[in-house]
Structure 1
Amino acid sequence: MQRELDAYKRQRDKVVQSRTSDPPAFQMALPVNDRGYMPYVTADQQKLIDRITDSYLGRPEHEMEKMWAELRANGLTPEQLVRTATYFINLDGEVVTRAVATGSQRPAQNGSTVWTASSV
């Protein structure tokens, strides 16, 4: 699931970087619950979000209401994603089930900790 989304994001980055004009950036903020989890957006959902939002690039600002209506009709607003997500992700990239993210199930305890480092 994560590999599919990562592959799509790499492909999408190439498309965005190859654009000749600088369209306004569009970012959708996803709510984070009190446990630090936000809904996990699948590759298929991200593709649909990008297709819809890209179709509104260059349009007048007042047409953004139509974009949100189209996102809503496809179940892709932040509130809808929270209600329907099967998986959730935290800021560390940990993907968990809805039960774990909402606290109705405790996460499995691991016997070790993996540390990763990256240069900035």
Structure 2
Amino acid sequence: MSELADDLDRKTGLGTDRVRTTVREPLGAAGFKPMDLGDGCHAWYRRADDGSHALISHNNALDGDPAVKDWIVGQYGERGGFVEVGGLPLSRALEGADTLPSPMRPDGSLVEALYPSLQQALDDLG
């Protein structure tokens, strides 16, 4: 297991009893766990088999209105790079976690990009 994966495992264990059910249940069902990012920031994370991971948050928090377009989803590479999309409702953020590509181009170079929509990210990187 990589050092990053070990670090991610140490930062979990947050209680989610105050997170609304309409947020906690779909994220849990999709394999996400709460994570403390430090400096008062929190996100839901899920690690992939290749060592990369997805994060979903609502303004750096675990909870928020699932219908409001304030959710952010990102794919982060084990060796760096990221692809993020903001301004989404929770359902689209969950979709993005499953569809955003790994932040690495076919030539091995890392992607570091913020996109205003899932479609723009997929069009650019797909």
Which entry has the higher C-alpha Rg, 1 or 2?
1
TM-score (norm. length: structure 2): 0.33
Q: Which has the higher helix share?
A: 1
| Larger RCO (CA under 8 A, 6+ residues apart) | 1
**The structure with more strand, counted as a fraction of residues:** 2
